[in-house]
Structure 1
């Protein structure tokens, strides 16, 4: 009888655990992760990605000391858990992870109870990734972390702007990052701040109330809403073999082409607007590629991939549905506070 009771408890305990949307270091480091790029990274990345060519996905290993291994990684890159991603704050450690200064990875669960990690440019699974076209839930159209969700993280990465892991990258958080760098005497960043300030309609003074520690952005699927962004993979000239997203180094068998994703510059005055954005090239602003921190010399061409990405797909990750609801409540409270203070 006792064994039967224990079996039932274990069963229901496993059911509850299957809904857990965060991962421990021990769990992260115990799996051989399958990794692929998303279409938003650009055709040059996907052309080199085995998964996109109907072959098994590449693998990646995470070590407790922050280093990585496998067939797709960069030896000097380090991973760590971070408290925020996509403009929202995690309710638990292990909801978000970053590698280097790339956009954060969102941790979630697949319907088979396995773990998933995804950013706007890549997706990884803790289980053997199904071949392309065999699992609709893993197609890009079903994965709702997009360049819209992480637009400010993408802008920072492509512009070579580093920011603290605990910085909530909403519009106001992004503005403060630029203002802080501008006051430190970085003329280039100050100029960039003026550009984005003009586009976003930011006030000249920094009188807006500070963000609370609670999430203010939107969750996955909805995310910050800049509208569709042009994302491409312009051809690059490199002096070393540059890999792909999140500090990737290609294995010796793979091509050494160095391709860098680029995203459009947000052109909306509000995060809720849905008008399309223009490429940085259209504004005379070149946003450097994703892997400027890999030790290689990267020089961009002026080619632009005209395909549009940033799909408005349905919500598929329970964690982010919960985070989105919390973010809405905090955003409403923040708007009230801003209105009370008379800041517009």
Structure 2
């Protein structure tokens, strides 16, 4: 029944999935855009641990790229991706059963344009959770993500699905999608597993397919975002904070984290290696509503803020080398006082 290490077409996949249902077998699912790295493989291993079968999709989704973004140059390495999936196994002998590598035509059968104003047809939006954090710089990104993941969940029918914490906002958005639209697959938000961010063991840089864009010099600078978030986390977790210190705690956490990146920005300008680093944002957000804690503090005061449920400390930075060099967007986050 399984089509191990092989790509499978949509029609054939549906027949395969129906047979798995008849046999009472559980299916785990990992959605990817390819260019697989150890972070992706960590998700695959989590699925192999919990499910009879594991499916991995490889699809560079045009709906989550703005017309000005890197859709055309996004790394596409399907053959090596398939080989990496084939190399993974669980002690039980379980392996990746199916690689689903659809075409744009299969996923958007009635055509597609990246220009949102010109789009016709069915698209999915999750209101109130998509405009902050990454949504501030990429306003159509989560519309594209929610749309393609809805399609993939309908096709794959996963009993459990696995996403990485590095894309924390995506995880919050998609868990809410599963809950609000009462998906049967995955059957509940609890079946939407969030796996801790995969990191480089030497410097803790969050693993990302876009790290392939980094030059040797910019790769040395890239871990600054994680260092900044860790510095902010250390401030947040200091034991002396009381309930009345919310304003100072929030301000000092963010100021400390931002200062680490801004100091690196200055160093990059002075070291003569032509590495250009720009801070996009560092923010504190509520773990469920994603409300910006700093903005809430400014608008409504400390009494409106409840940090007892913890917070998400996240950030993004842009890094490139030389005039006209490829710009790499770095994102990362740490969970303060809660677990997903």
For the aligned pair, the TM-score class normalised by the smaller chain equals under 0.3
Bigger helix share = 2
| TM-score, normalisation: structure 2 | 0.23
